[in-house]
Chain A
Amino acid sequence: MTFGPAFWEIVLLSLQVASVATVFTLPPAIAMGWLLARRKFWGHGFVNGLVHLPLVLPPVVTGYLLLVVFGRQGPVGGLLNDLFGITLAFRWTGAALAAGIMAFPLMVRAIRLGFEAADRGIEDAAATLGAAPVRVFVTVTLPLVAPGILAGAVLGFAKALGEFGATITFVAAIPGQTQTIPSAIYGLLQVPGAEGDVVALVVVSVVFAMGALILSEWLARRMAQRVAA
């Protein structure tokens, strides 16, 4: 299988799951990062705790809760199935959901730090120049927070690529459907004589992780140059 169609299927599926998870998690993570950094409200601590729950819960517990809530019999999963014909459990979309939920707290943390570090005074300046709040957010705040958002996205992508516990609990490891790199490595370790495949997948993992880090470093440096006052 090494470097054959089955191998590439695993790699591509992993990239697909991690990319979709990152893209769909990023907007709510930006919103949550903003909310936690910029707004004082009743229940702030509770919301903060809820966001961080996947980080501290055993991943298997998160996977189990996903199964309960998003399974075909679950309250949300049943609704999605009845109304839109969307099934998450044991599908690649479910793998993306699990990866996204696990990546969410890491993304929120990085983005929140970005919002906290952004100079509010520059936003005030934009307001005195006649920019309404939405325009200030889009043209000033987001560019200032961009390095934090980028860091959150890369961290989230890496986490999504490596997610194992919640994924295998929620969607199992069905080849071609939900078998990502980590679950494939875990499965192949049980098979005698598959060490070559394991090593190949490990190398791919390392290459992706390094690639993501180098790319984000490069982008972050470019952005830092642009936003340095």
Chain B
Amino acid sequence: MLDVDIKAALGDLALDVQMQVPPGVTVLFGPSGAGKTSVINALAGLLRPDTGRISLGDRVLFEGAVNVPAHLRRVGYVFQDARLFPHLTVRQNLTYGGDHDFDRLVAVLGLEGLLDRRPAGLSGGEKQRVALGRALMTKPDVVLMDEPLAALDDPRKAEVMPYIAALGAGAGLPIIYVTHAMAEVAQLADRIVILDRGKVVRQGNLEEVLADPGAARYFAKRDAGAILACTVARHEDGVTVLASDAGEVMLPGTLGAIGDAVRLRVPAQDVILSRQPLEGQSALNMLAAEITAITPLPNENVAVMLRAGAAPLWAELTPMSVGKLGFVVGQTVYAVFKATAVGPT
């Protein structure tokens, strides 16, 4: 567990961050300039906070006069721009800080053919995979990733993402992943910490935070909405049937193997609510759900909070629709939506 409670004045930005990071992937999310990189630089020992405390398990990394220097922190840092050593080969880059698990990591990251090349000859995706391997071979106690995919185009993102997802699933250590891309959040995060103008405004499990309409203002309009954790149940008629806490959900196309874990995004503005079961409509999914709350959103619309089975969902509606249809808390409604998969995790 990484425990952070720091304050730092950085120009116009007053950083004031309290967060707890358990093992697993915690996404540090927020707009540009929110102070995300400053937070992980402070964790890595590259930026000294003014006051506060940082501890990792029973090791104090920063408190008052104690400020463990970066090279003694046992922190694996993957930078946005890779920062490989240009004068060293890939192999020398990888082993610069240690060769823990060298063979396995080289195989997992697909670096066998690159070992004798220099960074100048690598593609962006290859550089990031080397940077990831280099950080992990030091056998770090915590991994920090600063928008590792931001500099890559979509195919390269798709190339690197599975490696990061696999790392998150396998390693029992805290991983902090900085991003402002919702697709990466949805695919990778176990937990999310939302940072806004230097302050933590939300933190918790991904499903909980995304099911909270109060957090919607921190996401782009298209991005607000629930996440549904599912497993592939069966394939039939060109459709993949997924089992979730909300019941069975269907996705077009044949996706994954039976038993695979899949995350679905259910954008709030794509959820249609109906008082009766709808017939003769083309959307694949309709779930019976109970209204648990109706709260106004900052953009004048209304969030209708739902519980479908055991899973939280929510729909963004206009006040007019809510009034006309007479939705009230406790009522059972039917949620109709098209879900999008965010890729196997």
A residues bordering B, Cβ < 8 Å?
119, 121-122, 124-133, 136, 139-140, 143-144, 225-229
Beyond the given pairs A122-B83, A229-B86, A229-B119, 15 more chain A to chain B contacts, judged by CB atoms under 8 angstroms and listed by A's residue number, are A122-B86, A125-B77, A126-B96, A128-B70, A128-B71, A128-B97, A129-B71, A129-B98, A130-B74, A131-B97, A136-B71, A143-B85, A225-B120, A226-B118, A228-B120
CB-CB under 8 A from A139, the residues of chain B are 96
Q: How long is the Cα–Cα vector from A200 to B180 in the complex, in angstroms?
A: 70
State whether B86 touches A228 (Cβ < 8 A): yes
Does B284 interact with chain A (Cβ within 8 Å)? no
State whether A121 touches B87 (Cβ < 8 A): no
State whether A129 touches B86 (Cβ < 8 A): no
Question: Which residues 119-142 in B have Cβ within 8 Å of A in the complex?
Answer: 119-120, 134-135, 138
Pick the contact of A125: B69, B73, B79, B118 (CB < 8 A): B79
**Shortest beta-carbon distance from A140 to chain B in Å:** 6
Does B250 interact with chain A (Cβ within 8 Å)? no
The residue of chain B having its C-beta at the shortest distance from the C-beta of A121 within the complex is: B83
Q: How long is the Cα–Cα vector from A229 to B79 in the complex, in angstroms?
A: 14
Q: How long is the Cα–Cα vector from A125 to B135 in the complex, in angstroms?
A: 9
Question: Which residues 59-106 in B have Cβ within 8 Å of A in the complex?
Answer: 69-77, 79, 81, 83-87, 96-98
Does B44 interact with chain A (Cβ within 8 Å)? yes
Does B162 interact with chain A (Cβ within 8 Å)? no
Known contacts A121-B81, A131-B71: A226-B86 contact under CB 8 Å: yes
Q: How long is the Cα–Cα vector from A130 to B95 in the complex, in angstroms?
A: 11
State whether B86 touches A131 (Cβ < 8 A): no
State whether A128 touches B118 (Cβ < 8 A): no
Residue pairs across A and B with Cβ atoms less than 8 A apart, 12 shown, are A119-B83, A121-B81, A125-B84, A126-B85, A126-B96, A127-B45, A127-B70, A128-B71, A128-B135, A129-B71, A130-B72, A229-B84
Does B201 interact with chain A (Cβ within 8 Å)? no
CB-CB under 8 A from B134, the residues of chain A are 129
State whether A128 touches B86 (Cβ < 8 A): no
Does B171 interact with chain A (Cβ within 8 Å)? no
CB-CB under 8 A from A229, the residues of chain B are 84, 86, 119-120
State whether A129 touches B96 (Cβ < 8 A): yes
Does B239 interact with chain A (Cβ within 8 Å)? no
Does B158 interact with chain A (Cβ within 8 Å)? no
Does B46 interact with chain A (Cβ within 8 Å)? yes
Known contacts A127-B45, A128-B75, A229-B119: A122-B70 contact under CB 8 Å: no
State whether B83 touches A132 (Cβ < 8 A): no
State whether A140 touches B97 (Cβ < 8 A): no
State whether A127 touches B69 (Cβ < 8 A): yes
State whether A122 touches B71 (Cβ < 8 A): no
**Shortest beta-carbon distance from B75 to chain A in Å:** 6
Pairs A-B, 6 closest by C-beta atoms: A129-B97, A127-B70, A125-B83, A128-B77, A143-B87, A227-B86
State whether B85 touches A128 (Cβ < 8 A): no
**Shortest beta-carbon distance from A131 to chain B in Å:** 6
State whether A130 touches B97 (Cβ < 8 A): yes
Q: How long is the Cα–Cα vector from A129 to B268 in the complex, in angstroms?
A: 42
Q: How long is the Cα–Cα vector from A226 to B83 in the complex, in angstroms?
A: 15
